[in-house]
Structure 1
Amino acid sequence: MEEIDRRIVRLLLADGRMSYTDLGRATGLSTSAAHQRVRRLEQRGVIKGYRAVVDAESVGLPLTAFISVKPFDPAAPDDVPDRLKELGEIESCHSVAGDENYILKVHVATPSALEGLLARVRSAANVSTRTTIVLSTPFDGRMPELPDPDPDPVA
């Protein structure tokens, strides 16, 4: 990826609503050139989308937890994500290495709502679970710094 594209991605990570005019000013491009660059980054799948980041507590979901999932039968088909995709409390599902197969990030209103969700996860996917409740979140959802492109080994 070209350095100018890296700069655009960094700027959009900081402010996904930045205008093409402001992107152009920050990168030395014209507004139309900034727009074309962003469109190409979207077409190539570098930029996958834009979304609002909502405070879960403000919308009545103050309890966040991570649920580690392990199938009872390791020989069973690995269809856990398909079995759980309809459970709206699940924000994300990550396939992981280790004892468990997946880790789910969930948001619920109360401990009893979490208990009910755990029962539905176990039943829907035929899995055992291990749950960690989040006490606080100092930061979340940030992208690590983008690595610099490989230096020219000849130079």
Structure 2
Amino acid sequence: MDGIDRAILRHLQEDGRMTATALAQEVGLTLAPCHRRLRELETSGVIRGYRADVDPAKINLGFEALVFVTLKDRQNMKAFEIEVTKSAQIVDAQRLFGDPDFLLRVVVADLPAYQHFYDEVLIALPGVEKLTSTIVMKNLKSGGRLPI
């Protein structure tokens, strides 16, 4: 990966809908080499995909909670991870080093919807010993870009 590839990635992080023509112009390439580099970045998995940045509050998903999860033991870890990836309300999930074991970001409509999700889904996840929730008051920064 060279400076031009990094410039391509910086521009696409800012505007994933940028046309290849505009991108080529921004990074100082002609169209064909820019297309080739884009395909290589996509094929190699450097670019994982393109998506829209949706405002959750505008689609009635304005309640967000961070949930720290401690598992009883490691025997259920794989099953837990599989179930977490199936839940649409869990929009981010990280396995942590140390205690707790996982951090989940949950997005739902409101507090009653979160209570229902907590009671029906989170508690039932395989191997859960302890759940600790923190309600997000305000998002200061989201969808951060990688420092390329």
Decide: shared fold, TM above 0.5: yes
Provide the residue aligned with 1:45 in structure 2: 45
Post-superposition offset of 1:75: 4.2
Provide the residue aligned with 2:95 in structure 1: 95
Provide the residue aligned with 2:145 in structure 1: 143
RMSD of aligned residue pairs (Cα, Å): 1.2
More helix by share: 2
Provide the residue aligned with 2:136 in structure 1: 134
Paired residue secondary structure (1:16): coil
Provide the residue aligned with 1:12 in structure 2: 12
1:64 pairs with 2:64? yes
Higher Cα radius of gyration: 1
Ranked by relative contact order (alpha carbons within 8 Å, sequence separation 6 or more), the top structure is: 2
What one-letter code is carried by the residue in structure 2 that aligns with 1:74? D
Counterparts of 2:12 and 2:88, CA distance in 1: 28
Contact 1:20 1:32 (C-alpha < 8 Å) held by counterparts: no
Provide the residue aligned with 2:122 in structure 1: 121
Post-superposition offset of 1:16: 0.5
Q: Which ranges in structure 1 are unaligned for 5 or more consecutive residues?
A: 147-155
Counterparts of 2:37 and 2:88, CA distance in 1: 35
Counterparts of 1:100 and 1:70, CA distance in 2: 5
Contact 1:67 1:103 (C-alpha < 8 Å) held by counterparts: yes
> Does the C-alpha gap of structure 1 residues 28 and 122 become closer, same or farther in structure 2, counting only changes over 3 Å?
same
Q: Which ranges in structure 2 are unaligned for 5 or more consecutive residues?
A: none
Counterparts of residues 104-115 of structure 1 (less than 5 Å): 104-115=104-115
Paired residue secondary structure (1:99): coil
Counterparts of 1:61 and 1:116, CA distance in 2: 14
Q: TM-score, normalised by structure 2?
A: 0.92
Provide the residue aligned with 1:151 in structure 2: none
Post-superposition offset of 1:124: 2.6
Q: TM-score, normalised by structure 1?
A: 0.88
Provide the residue aligned with 1:82 in structure 2: 82
Contact 1:24 1:31 (C-alpha < 8 Å) held by counterparts: yes
Post-superposition offset of 1:121: 1.0
What one-letter code is carried by the residue in structure 2 that aligns with 1:129? L
Aligned-pair identity (%): 31
Contact 2:76 2:127 (C-alpha < 8 Å) held by counterparts: no
Counterparts of 2:20 and 2:74, CA distance in 1: 51
Paired residue secondary structure (2:124): helix
